[in-house]
Amino acid sequence: MSLTYAVVTPARNERANLGRLAESLTAQMLLPAHWVIVDDGSDDGTDDLGAKFAAEHDWIVVCMPEPATDGQLTEGRREGRDLLAFRRGAAALPTAVDVLVKVDADTSFDPDYFATLMRRFAEQPDLGIAGGCCYELEDGEWVRQKVAGTHPRGASRAYRWACYEEALKLEPKMGWDGLDEVQASLMGYRTAIFNDFGFRHHRPTGGRERDRLRASAVLGSASWYMGYRPSYLLLRALYGTRRDPVALAMVWGYASAALRRTPRCPEAGAVRHLREQQRLRVLLTRGANP
C-alpha 273: how far from its chain's center?
Answer: 20
pLDDT digits (tens, 9 = 90+) for 252-289: 888 888 888 888 877 777 778 778 777 765 555 554 44
Q: Which of 24-28, 218-222, 259-263 has the lowest mean pLDDT?
A: 218-222
The residues pairing with 63 across neighbouring beta strands, listed in sequence order, are 38
pLDDT digits (tens, 9 = 90+) for 115-155: 999 999 999 999 999 999 999 998 889 999 877 667 788 89
Evaluate if residue 79 carries a pLDDT over 50. Answer: yes
Output b/e per residue, 49-79; b: 16+ Cβ within 10 A. bbbebbeeeebbbbbbbeeeebeebeebbbe
Contact (Cβ atoms closer than 8 angstroms) between residue 112 and residue 197: yes
Evaluate if residue 46 carries a pLDDT over 60. Answer: yes
Evaluate if residue 160 carries a pLDDT over 90. Answer: yes
C-alpha 185: how far from its chain's center?
Answer: 17
- How many beta carbons lie within 10 A of that of residue 106, not counting itself? 21
Q: Please enumerate in sequence order all residues whose Cβ is within 8 A of that of 281, keeping only pairs 6 or more positions apart, or say none.
A: none
Choose among 183, 165, 209: nearest CA to 272.
Answer: 183
